[in-house]
C-alpha cells in the first residue's frame, strides 16, 4: 500500500464519519457554506462615507463624509468592507475566527474581492497582527490568512509591516473611547513602509479603533496611502 493510497483511505473514512457541512448552519453539502447562508450575507454598497465606508440611507441626501470622519478624521484614506456584520456573515466570521474553520479564508476573501476592492491602487497588503500569545492559542492569525488569500487574488505581496507590542483583552463589549485608549501603543511599525500604498487587512471594522491606530502608525512610518480592508463592518447600534 502506498502512502497516497493510505491518505485517500483516511480522507474517505473521515468524510464518511464527518461529511462536509456548511460551516455556518451545518447543512450537509460540499461547499464551505451553503447558498442560503451566502444569500443571508448583506453586502455593503454606495452611498457610503467616502473615507470610512459607513453606508448611508440611500433615500436620504448623503453627505460625502460621515459625522465621525468630519469631526475626527482617521489616518486611513479609505476603509471598505464587503458586508454588514450580522446574520450569516457574522456566523461565518465567528467560525473562521474562533472555531478553527481556516477553509473560510478563501470564500471570505473572494467576498471582499467581489464587493469591496480598494478604491485606490495599493502596493502590498499587511494584516493586523495578533499578539503572539493569542496567535499561539488560536494557532493562526485570521487576518493574515485573509490577507494571503486576497494577495493571491489581487496579485499583491503580503508583508508583516506591523507587530503587536502589548496584549489587550477582547474589545467587543467596550465603548469606543475605551477601545481607543486600549489600542494606543499596542502596535509598532516595522521597516519597508515609507512611500508605499498599503492595504491593511482585518476581519471586522467595529468602532475602527484598531484600524485607526494601525493606520496612524503606518502613516507615521511614511506610508503614502492606507486602505483598511475588512470582511464586515458594524452598522447602526452595534457600532
Give the footprint of Zn ion on this chain (CB under 5 A): 22, 24-25, 27, 34, 37, 49, 51-52, 54, 66, 69
CB of 66 to Zn ion, least distance (A): 3
For Zn ion, give the closer residue by CB, 189 or 231. 231
CB of 23 to Zn ion, least distance (A): 8
For Zn ion, give the closer residue by CB, 52 or 201. 52
Provide DSSP, the chain: --HHHHHHHHHHHHHHHS--B-TTT--B-SSSS-HHHHHTS-B--SSB-TTT-PBPPTTS---SS-HHHHHS--SSSEEEEEEESSHHHHHHHHHHHHS--GGGHHHHHHHHHHH---SS--SEEEEPPPPHHHHHHHSS-HHHHHHHHHHHHHT--B---EEE-S-----TTS-HHHHHHHHTTSEEE-SS-TT-EEEEEEEEESSSHHHHHHHHHHHHTT-SEEEEEEEEE--STT-
For Zn ion, give the closer residue by CB, 53 or 151. 53
CB of 69 to Zn ion, least distance (A): 3
CB of 36 to Zn ion, least distance (A): 5
For Zn ion, give the closer residue by CB, 35 or 160. 35
Amino acid at each position: 500500500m502506498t502512502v497516497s493510497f493510505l491518505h485517500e483511505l483516511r480522507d474517505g473514512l473521515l468524510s464518511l464519519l464527518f461529511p462536509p457541512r456548511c460551516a455556518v448552519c451545518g447543512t450537509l453539502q460540499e461547499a464551505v457554506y451553503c447558498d442560503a447562508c451566502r444569500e443571508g450575507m448583506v453586502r455593503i454598497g454606495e452611498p457610503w462615507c467616502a473615507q470610512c465606508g459607513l453606508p448611508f440611507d440611500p433615500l436620504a441626501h448623503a453627505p460625502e463624509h460621515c459625522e465621525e470622519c468630519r469631526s475626527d478624521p482617521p489616518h486611513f484614506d479609505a476603509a471598505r468592507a464587503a458586508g454588514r456584520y450580522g446574520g450569516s456573515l457574522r456566523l461565518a466570521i465567528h467560525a473562521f475566527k474562533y472555531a478553527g474553520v481556516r477553509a473560510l479564508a478563501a470564500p471570505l476573501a473572494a467576498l471582499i474581492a467581489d464587493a469591496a476592492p480598494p478604491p485606490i491602487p495599493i502596493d502590498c497588503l499587511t494584516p493586523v497582527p495578533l499578539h503572539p500569545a493569542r496567535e499561539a492559542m488560536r494557532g493562526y492569525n485570521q487576518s493574515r490568512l485573509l490577507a494571503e488569500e486576497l494577495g493571491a487574488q489581487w496579485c499583491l505581496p503580503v508583508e508583516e509591516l506591523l507587530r503587536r507590542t502589548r496584549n489587550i483583552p477582547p474589545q467587543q463589549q467596550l465603548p469606543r473611547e475605551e477601545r481607543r485608549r486600549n489600542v494606543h501603543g499596542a502596535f509598532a511599525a516595522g521597516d519597508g513602509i515609507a512611500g508605499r500604498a498599503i492595504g491593511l487587512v482585518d476581519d471586522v471594522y467595529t468602532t475602527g479603533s484598531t484600524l485607526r491606530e494601525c493606520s496612524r502608525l503606518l502613516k507615521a512610518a511614511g506610508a503614502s496611502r492606507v486602505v483598511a480592508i475588512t470582511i464586515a463592518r458594524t452598522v447602526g447600534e452595534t457600532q
